[in-house]
Structure 1
Amino acid sequence: MNSGTKLAPAIAMLLSVSMASAEQPAYKDLNKPFEERAADLVSRMTLEEKIAQLGNDAPAIPRLGVPAYEWWNEALHGVARAGAATVFPQAIGLAATFDEKLMLEIATVISDEARAKHHEFARRGLRGRYQGLTFWSPNINIFRDPRWGRGQETYGEDPWLTARMGVAFVKGLQGDDPKYRKVDATAKHFAVHSGPEADRHHFDVHPSERDLYETYLPAFQALVQEGGVASVMGAYNRVYGESASASPRLLQQILRKDWGFEGYVVSDCDSIEDIYKHHKIVKTAPEAAALGVRYGCDLDCGKTYDYLLPAVKQKLITEAEIDTALRRLMLTRFQLGMFDPPEQVRWAQIPYSVNQAPKHDQLARRAAQKSIVLLKNDGMLPLSRDIKTLAVIGPTADEVMSLLGNYYGTPAAPVTILQGIREAVGPKTKVLYSRGADLVQGREEPRAVPLIDSNFMRPEAGSKQQGLKGEYFRGREFAGAPVMTRVDSRIAFRWDRGAPTDDLAARGELSSAQALAGDDFSVRWTGELLPPTSGKYELVVGANDGVRLYLDDKLIVDGWEQNERVRSHSVSVDLEAGRAYKIKLEYFEDIRDAEVRLGWRRPGAKPPFEEALDAARAADAVVFVGGLTGDVEGEEMKVNYPGFAGGDRTDLRLPESQRKLLEALHATGKPVALVLTGGSALAVDWAQQRLPAILMAWYPGQRGGNAVADVLFGEANPSGRLPVTFYKENEKLPAFDDYSMEGRTYRYFTGQPLYPFGHGLSYTRFEYSNLKLDSASVAADGSLQASLTVKNVGSRPGEEVVQLYVAPIESKRPRANKDLRGVKRVALKPGEVGNVSFTLQPTNDLRHYDADADRYAVDPGKYEVQIGASSADIRARQTFEVKR
């Protein structure tokens, strides 16, 4: 056989491959750049198909092999609204760690769980909301006013700290693969957005150019240029008369032209609709849709872009402009590996078993420990583990919502502060508990009623088990066999976005397929009720969906059709001690969050207030756990209680119900440690003057109860720092809707705060010395080194958060009082000395915005380096000069 004969089959094969390649669409060619593939795919779509892809709930295009995709997902402090996930401290608590490395570690874990959950959803053909890879986090708005209910979602009031924490979060989410992005992060809400919640759909903000560029924009610029954030979300409000979600200045000039942003822009949900409905910038939906696309909003969370077809026909927008927006959206889907074989995508190999892994749970506890801020301590803390009797009192002590804040997932086994304390104390310590007071007066409080403990229930006659038998079903009609049956010790559940079985799967009780059921389920609990004494009981069922309660086969509570937010149902019944009563509780989930509780008030029970005082009198010390929960502060809520309105706050003090109880507890003469939960500053002037110890725990996440106990008993030395200023209760703040920074935050406030920005105490003491600058002067484009030593002069190991501020001296223009420009965490043993150094670059760290020249500039002159333990506790300072 000659060589030509040998080569013929090979040549034929090459020709066949070449022809096949020529016939294959470019968007399917794995060897072509993502940009070329995205453009090719868009070119093959009809106009109607293109328009449908510009909404958050994008339909499939079967003829092109494009699967359906829902862009909306959340990951503020853990994968949210998708069932089981590790829940870390709320964003404001993460900011309180002042720890970029920890933030990167946490965000990496979040994106691991996000990828694992997405691929499990996809394997099962599930492509709905909260199941994708595009996450609308982080929120890097500046927490300029403590009344803002969504401030808990931010990293505080300082632009520099917000930028540092935000960049770390973005890098952890998006990963480090050179080809495929792990998930998309979204910097929101661009820009100048921080309440009031009630006005956000029609408000027009006109900040000064200086405030815009020195306060509201720097974090966004850092996330774009340093963090490489994939997406930016517009805001609801107007800025200088333009919708922030369709602003030529914000989206075209600043974001894309000045900063070089190449990603995609998404609207906040229905903010494109607001353009014509509330802002009245245009009159019709087609005009609003055209305005959004033309001015740079690529993706509409909402339905207004459905009107782009008539907008094209009315010549309000061109198909070419639609193509530009769609190419950006398809490009990110290629970059996430959505059109490539999973085996080629590094991130697709993350197994579902990482979700809620034990090491993630441990990280959640460590993060919570580092977030807790010791506001005051006159020696009461740490508590002795040998204390004989400890009273734990307060409305957030045994409340899961006090751990979560908002935008959270479902933790497998959340540990409340009461539970954490009980786990921490020794066997000789008796822990007494009383809720004592409602969270806020006037609020229907289904969680205020004591739960029926397991020892008063059994799953069937004669059983030695305690609790009720729970049968979990798909759908609300209890049809077919239950997907799972178990004994629940108490009926007290809260599931985010449904999916109770996802919670169970984390404990290995269900397969991952069963665990990803989502919403629409029902549960039937049955067994016997065993009252301890005879008399009149009040049975109370709290639920936010359908619920029915039967006693001895008689329907006594019927709330099956009353789908309301956490409705309380109560009924009085006469029960006899020694008799077993058949009990059946049925519940179905239908709306967003699922919650059900079964409690009772027993005969002769004292009012909660008196019960709390009795507990305090019987104890050696009291831990009062109060503050706020996400039920009263948050995003655009239907809340109208004293001190609260629409999700925002109108009073910075503790709610009156809690203040009265706290004062009565103090009057018993027993030492009281105050533990605060919440996402914003609290004016606790009375407590600061009279109580020996105060902790700020924020919304500390799934292991928050353990972390608080770790700090209370000295297992962990507190090292959190305040990312916001705590003002005094009589401080007259600027108007909430005034976006001028004058008089706001530590940078511009000239009064005396209750607790300053950066404040946080320790169980040990640190001394600062030997501050040195490597030069007395520096060029505007140069750099300056500052170094010093820090010594632990106390008796415990601890971490000091060393903070560097820069202040202008005799500035010729309005400037901030000072600006945070460096943070270093130093872990030191007793007697140990650490060396700390910082690098200052005037072009970044001393710049101001020159409105006349429309650019940043560095003024020559004298400045002061201030290094200390807070913005007010400066331990060392030196001046230097910036030369022309």
Structure 2
Amino acid sequence: MSTTKHSLLIVLLFAGLSAWAQPKPVANADAAQMKSFIDKLMKQMTVEEKLGQLNLPGSGDIVTGQAGNTDIAAKIRAGKVGGLFNIKGVEKIREVQKLAVEQSRLKIPLLFGMDVIHGYQTVFPIPLGLSATWDMKAIERSAQIAAREASADGINWTFSPMVDIARDPRWGRMAEGAGEDPYLGGEIAKAMVRGYQGNDLKANNTIMSCVKHFALYGAAEAGRDYNTTDMSHQRMYNEYFLPYQAAVDAGAGSIMASFNEIDGVPATANKWLMTDVLRKQWGFAGFVVSDYTGVGEMTSHGIGDTATVAARALMAGLDMDMVSEALLTKIPQSLKEGKVTMAQIDAACRRILEAKYKLGLFEDPYRYCDVTRPAKDVYTAANRQEARSIAAQSFVLLKNEGNVLPLKRGGKIALIGPLADNRENMPGTWSVAADFSKAISVLEGLKEVAGSNTEILYAKGSNLDYDARFEERAGMFGKNLRRDNRPSATQIAEALQIASKADVIIAAVGESAEMSGESSSRTNIEIPQAQKDLLKALKATGKPVVLVLFAGRSLTITEEAAAYPAILNVWFPGSEAGYAIADVLFGDVNPSGKLTTTWPQNIGQVPLFYNHKNTGRPLPEGNWFEKFKTNYLDVTNDPLYPFGFGLSYTTFTYGKMKLSSQSLKGNQTLTATVNITNNGKVTGKEVAQLYIRDIVGSTTRPVAELKGFEKIELQPGESKTVSFSITPELLKFYNYDLKYDWEAGDFDIMIGSNSKDVQKLRVNWQK
């Protein structure tokens, strides 16, 4: 987004800080220096200039060399703009920054933000795919590289990470988050913030993060985007708030308000949320920005006209208004009428100025405008190699019957499907800075990685969907699917002709990139029928069919799971997609991804998640159906694939779990250990997962909660002991009175390869 000011040179020394360490709080002397500087500046500012800092308009079509002639330029000169977003290019950003720091009265620099969600020009897997690595160092590296590339191109603020817990795969923005679990989501939130911000926001290769969407956006009713969210405060604190708070604790510089309402009040004007929880309880000291037109949209929620909702947002603790310009245009009259106070305007303005100060923009407003950096830092060979490696680690092997995978080099392979030769869809949703023409398709990757002794044959085989209008909606933002207007029978016949020449068939099928993401909710989360018909025709050949499945959410693939011997879920892998997919298909990389969402058998089970609570009539474990128990008539309660599930090209055996004690008291530490052995012939990585159940509570507790995990690599025949240290801190929860504490009693300790396949031992823990 935007940048801010030029003025007096103020040098802050951050001695002894490594480039990417844990952020440290501002030293008292530095904080005092910042306060003094901003106090002096704000005394010079008019009310209009203060409100200008709260204004975040869209950049519009700003053309290099003509930036000074745009409508937005006049507002910048008048001090009515605090930042801009989604303006791309270091030369263009430098030109616009110059308007602020050389042609406005007080020369306050702008913030420049962008949706840098899972990479900049080097695109990593979509966030849901990144979460499937269960590798916090890899996730942090992806954010670090994204920050380095974006900052080289003039960006100093990213609207990421999205940390919303998502348990309903109908919601398209499941693709943009870390899945269904608050503990894992919190660990990933911290890793992303560390990656973006490093330990020094004044370093010109770091950018400020913006944690979104605060709060509960992932629990929208019916899985429909922007919809209402309604839940108890206890559920908020125990199941949804943790990742936001983790990001705040990691030092996130800004927060974005969510579109949904909470307790009947839109989040953008929810004082309890933004002031009581975020600032008073969690100690957040950064600024809060609305989502796109979020302030103005509250009129549609039905809580007042534009002037009313603008005043309510400011009073609630919102600091910056994205696009609506309601704070800029309506607050002056509200101030005159006594509906808002000057203190509220000053508080919001100060937080924006502090962010600019912490980014070093008052020292050097062109800190991010080095025109030599893009050539050195953006889309480099090293960055692309890292993206390729991380992408391969994100893939989840869902099925591998008869060890069809990995494929052997040599012979003929038929690559068929609407996503087989489509560069544009490889980066996935929210890849706004990507050059789609540079992305590596599956066809390109296979041809290069397979080698000269392997012949890759190709046919599209089908369109994404039979409905051309649906396909158009699923191919927005430049992600063209190049629809084939020939009859579907002709397309399938062509595919079968190609398949007849091959030894094995790879079917690249599933969702397109824009079938998930914002405003991409679906009521049917199956593979589209056009592709199902293609798959059935391929299966009828009798040749082994390997599904390379593209997805931005949990899908219902019960039919495919039963019919095809091998399924590799690749999410949307990023700019190096084709190479990473080929690396795994040929066994150069052993898949190690694990699901971070539960995959249902059908849409009727949704929402379905592992850490649910028992009813008073739970279905006995292993039973299909029992009358007057909580179950369905037509399917079991079980998911198709549980949370934490993922196969490998090798097999891992868990030895007997051991506990250091079965009776503990007070702040003692319990150690849980298990020996894991690689029984196969290839090196592999396994994610050992720790779950805990509080058997009896003052309020009901989930049947299991993830409380730890460790990803280990084992050579063939190698064994390692994984150890988890458990303290009462891991037993705490928010009780009925929202007191955060643990309660004495019995606890089940569980360790396993996923949330379903675990060993269990019970301990008693007294205070």
User: Which residue of the other structure, out of 715, 732, 736, is the alignment partner of 1:847?
Assistant: 732
Quote the residue 1:44 is aligned against: 44
In structure 2, give the amino acid aligned to 1:873.
Answer: D
Quote the residue 2:244 is aligned against: 220
**Higher alpha-carbon deviation: 688-697 or 28-37:** 28-37
Pair 63,384 (structure 1): closer, same or farther in 2 beyond 3 Å: closer
Tell me how far apart the structure 2 counterparts of residues 780 and 677 of structure 1 sit (CA, whole Å).
48
Q: How does 1:549-560 map to 2 (within 5 A)?
A: none
Pair 818,595 (structure 1): closer, same or farther in 2 beyond 3 Å: closer
Pair 164,97 (structure 1): closer, same or farther in 2 beyond 3 Å: same
SS at match of 1:49: helix
In structure 1, give the amino acid aligned to 2:662.
Answer: A
Task: Tell me if the contact between 1:210 and 1:849 (Cα under 8 Å) persists in the aligned partners.
Answer: yes
Structure 2: stretches of 5+ with no match in the other structure: 1-5, 13-31, 58-80, 83-99, 616-629
User: Which residue of the other structure, out of 92, 95, 99, is the alignment partner of 2:131?
Assistant: 95
Tell me how far apart the structure 1 counterparts of residues 550 and 200 of structure 2 sit (CA, whole Å).
38
Task: Tell me if the contact between 1:160 and 1:820 (Cα under 8 Å) persists in the aligned partners.
Answer: yes
SS at match of 1:390: strand
SS at match of 2:494: helix
Pair 337,215 (structure 1): closer, same or farther in 2 beyond 3 Å: same
In structure 1, give the amino acid aligned to 2:161.
Answer: P
User: Which residue of the other structure, out of 309, 332, 341, is the alignment partner of 1:288?
Assistant: 309
Structure that is richer in helix per residue? 2
Quote the residue 2:451 is aligned against: 426
Q: How does 1:714-863 map to 2 (within 5 A)?
A: 714-729=587-602, 731-733=604-606, 751-811=637-697, 813-843=699-729, 845-851=730-736, 853-863=737-747
Tell me how far apart the structure 2 counterparts of residues 813 and 113 of structure 1 sit (CA, whole Å).
48
Displacement, 1:430? 2.1
Pair 618,781 (structure 1): closer, same or farther in 2 beyond 3 Å: same
SS at match of 2:346: helix
SS at match of 1:650: coil
Tell me how far apart the structure 1 counterparts of residues 402 and 704 of structure 2 sit (CA, whole Å).
32
Quote the residue 2:215 is aligned against: 191
Quote the residue 2:183 is aligned against: 160
Pair 103,669 (structure 1): closer, same or farther in 2 beyond 3 Å: same
Quote the residue 1:390 is aligned against: 413
Task: Tell me if the contact between 1:371 and 1:697 (Cα under 8 Å) persists in the aligned partners.
Answer: yes
Displacement, 1:67? 4.7
Quote the residue 1:868 is aligned against: 752
SS at match of 2:539: helix
Task: Tell me if the contact between 2:307 and 2:334 (Cα under 8 Å) persists in the aligned partners.
Answer: yes
Deviations 1:281-329 (A, max 9, x none): 12x2122111111110001112211211122122211222101100000
Pair 256,342 (structure 1): closer, same or farther in 2 beyond 3 Å: closer
Tell me how far apart the structure 1 counterparts of residues 369 and 297 of structure 2 sit (CA, whole Å).
40
Pair 823,251 (structure 1): closer, same or farther in 2 beyond 3 Å: same
In structure 1, give the amino acid aligned to 2:654.
Answer: Y
Task: Tell me if the contact between 2:127 and 2:176 (Cα under 8 Å) persists in the aligned partners.
Answer: yes
Displacement, 1:366? 0.6
Task: Tell me if the contact between 2:10 and 2:362 (Cα under 8 Å) persists in the aligned partners.
Answer: no
TM-score with structure 2 setting the length: 0.83
Quote the residue 2:579 is aligned against: 706
SS at match of 1:715: coil
Displacement, 1:676? 0.5
Quote the residue 1:439 is aligned against: 464
SS at match of 2:212: strand
Pair 816,67 (structure 1): closer, same or farther in 2 beyond 3 Å: same
Quote the residue 2:532 is aligned against: 659
Displacement, 1:695? 0.7
Deviations 1:556-592 (A, max 9, x none): xxxxxxxx997xxxxxxxxxxxxxxxxxxxxxxxxx9
User: Which residue of the other structure, out of 314, 318, 326, is the alignment partner of 1:304?
Assistant: 326
1:209 pairs with 2:233: yes
Tell me how far apart the structure 2 counterparts of residues 73 and 842 of structure 1 sit (CA, whole Å).
41
Task: Tell me if the contact between 1:402 and 1:628 (Cα under 8 Å) persists in the aligned partners.
Answer: no
Quote the residue 2:119 is aligned against: 78
What count of residue pairs does the alignment treat as equivalent?
677
Task: Tell me if the contact between 2:424 and 2:480 (Cα under 8 Å) persists in the aligned partners.
Answer: no
Tell me how far apart the structure 2 counterparts of residues 176 and 38 of structure 1 sit (CA, whole Å).
22
User: Which residue of the other structure, out of 285, 295, 302, is the alignment partner of 1:262?
Assistant: 285
Displacement, 1:348? 11
Quote the residue 2:627 is aligned against: none
Deviations 1:609-659 (A, max 9, x none): 1111222222111111100012322212xxxxxxxxxx1111121111111
SS at match of 2:236: helix
Deviations 1:649-689 (A, max 9, x none): 11121111111111111111111011100111111112211
Quote the residue 2:439 is aligned against: 414
Structure that is richer in strand per residue? 1
SS at match of 2:583: helix
Task: Tell me if the contact between 1:342 and 1:348 (Cα under 8 Å) persists in the aligned partners.
Answer: no
Tell me how far apart the structure 2 counterparts of residues 773 and 398 of structure 1 sit (CA, whole Å).
52
Tell me how far apart the structure 1 counterparts of residues 700 and 195 of structure 2 sit (CA, whole Å).
37
Task: Tell me if the contact between 2:163 and 2:189 (Cα under 8 Å) persists in the aligned partners.
Answer: yes
Larger Rg over CA atoms: 1
Deviations 1:68-127 (A, max 9, x none): 525441111012xxxxx1100100000000011111111111111122111xxxxxxxxx
Tell me how far apart the structure 2 counterparts of residues 607 and 379 of structure 1 sit (CA, whole Å).
32
Tell me how far apart the structure 1 counterparts of residues 145 and 480 of structure 2 sit (CA, whole Å).
30
Tell me how far apart the structure 2 counterparts of residues 565 and 878 of structure 1 sit (CA, whole Å).
48
Quote the residue 2:64 is aligned against: none
In structure 2, give the amino acid aligned to 1:785.
Answer: T
SS at match of 2:189: helix
Pair 423,66 (structure 1): closer, same or farther in 2 beyond 3 Å: same
SS at match of 2:467: coil
Pair 424,775 (structure 1): closer, same or farther in 2 beyond 3 Å: same
SS at match of 1:185: strand
SS at match of 2:580: helix
Tell me how far apart the structure 1 counterparts of residues 176 and 549 of structure 2 sit (CA, whole Å).
17
Task: Tell me if the contact between 1:804 and 1:867 (Cα under 8 Å) persists in the aligned partners.
Answer: yes
Quote the residue 1:628 is aligned against: 511
Tell me how far apart the structure 1 counterparts of residues 550 and 658 of structure 2 sit (CA, whole Å).
40
Pair 139,405 (structure 1): closer, same or farther in 2 beyond 3 Å: same
Task: Tell me if the contact between 2:201 and 2:359 (Cα under 8 Å) persists in the aligned partners.
Answer: no
Q: How does 1:306-705 map to 2 (within 5 A)?
A: 306=328, 307-341=330-364, 352-408=375-431, 409-411=433-435, 413-444=438-469, 593=477, 607-636=490-519, 647-705=520-578
Task: Tell me if the contact between 1:387 and 1:429 (Cα under 8 Å) persists in the aligned partners.
Answer: yes
Tell me how far apart the structure 1 counterparts of residues 529 and 263 of structure 2 sit (CA, whole Å).
39
In structure 2, give the amino acid aligned to 1:816.
Answer: P
Tell me how far apart the structure 2 counterparts of residues 729 and 206 of structure 1 sit (CA, whole Å).
24
Pair 413,180 (structure 1): closer, same or farther in 2 beyond 3 Å: closer
Quote the residue 1:278 is aligned against: 300
Task: Tell me if the contact between 1:204 and 1:240 (Cα under 8 Å) persists in the aligned partners.
Answer: no
SS at match of 1:273: coil
Tell me how far apart the structure 1 counterparts of residues 424 and 133 of structure 2 sit (CA, whole Å).
21
Displacement, 1:857? 2.2
Tell me how far apart the structure 2 counterparts of residues 342 and 281 of structure 1 sit (CA, whole Å).
39
